[in-house]
Amino acid sequence: QVQLEESGGGLVQAGGSLRLSCAASVRTFRRYAMGWFRQAPGKDREFVTAINWRDGSTYYGDSVKGRFTISKDNAKNTVYLQMSSLKPGDTAVYYCAAISRLEPYEYDYWGQGTQVTVSS
């Protein structure tokens, strides 16, 4: 069973930066896309960003455009989320997820999450 493991969360001041990582436990894990989601207390889960594993196309939620960057390292089997100009509103548990099938094309693997706290 493939596991996704996030790391890199923590406490940062507003305006600061953090980089999250998400590694898959199985090197031969075939995926079509990977993404990052977040959930703040009392709020619904929110899409943050995603990357097409084949061609590297990226997609961003409106609230993070221009501040967050998703990238991948195929050799390390890892996806990254570089977060800059962080705001208190970015405080949430961040989850990485993967799409391993074309049908249905939905996220079917999830990490356990990593906490990001942005202080004002």
> Mind listing the pLDDT tens digit for each residue in 70-96?
999 988 889 999 999 999 999 999 999
Beta carbons of 61 and 67 less than 8 angstroms apart: no
Give the mean pLDDT of 10-39: 95
Asked if residue 27 has pLDDT above 90, the reply is: no
Residue 1's pLDDT band (cuts 50, 70, 90): confident
For residue 46, the surrounding DSSP H or E stretch is strand 46-52
Stronger pLDDT, 102 or 60, i.e. the higher one:
60
Stronger pLDDT, 28 or 111, i.e. the higher one:
111
Percent above pLDDT 90 for the chain = 89
Three-state SS for 68? strand
Residue 45's pLDDT band (cuts 50, 70, 90): very high
Give the mean pLDDT of 19-36: 94
Tokens for 61, please give them: 């939620």
Main-chain dihedrals φ then ψ at residue 90, nearest 5 degrees: -85, -5
Asked if residue 28 has pLDDT above 90, the reply is: no
Give the mean pLDDT of 18-46: 95
Rounded CA gap, 23 and 80, in Å? Answer: 9
